[in-house]
Amino acid sequence: MLDAFVGSLLILIVMIVSLYKWIIIAAVVLSWLKVDKENILVQIIHLITQPVFNLLKKYIPTQYNNIDFAPMIIILILVLIETFFGRLAIGM
């Protein structure tokens, strides 16, 4: 019974990490488009992603030739986390 609970918890972590990865991709796409900054969905995506971007930029310089690589670095970290917990869940 404990194995089922832990396995379910690991799968939930993988799903949350995957969802956050897609939210970051949406933030990147929205940064390329001309969108209304007053749109509630745009504000929510900005509110969810900017603290993580700023935290990374605080420790690592992520801009090169006016291109910000923070989303790509965070997505790479999230893929590693997703893979780790996914394989951990499969091994149970």
- Report how far residue 45's alpha carbon sits from residue 41's, in angstroms, rounded to the nearest whole number: 6
- The pLDDT score that the predictor gives to residue 35 is 87
Q: What's the pLDDT band for 27 if we cut at 50, 70, 90?
A: very high
Predicted TM-score (pTM) of this structure = 0.86
Q: What contacts 85, CB < 8 A, 6 or more positions away?
A: 10, 13, 14, 17
> For the chain, what is the mean pLDDT?
91
- The pLDDT score that the predictor gives to residue 23 is 96
Domain boundaries, the chain: 2-90
* Model pLDDT for residues 42-55, shown as the tens digit of each residue: 999 999 999 999 99
29 touches 23 (CB < 8 A): no
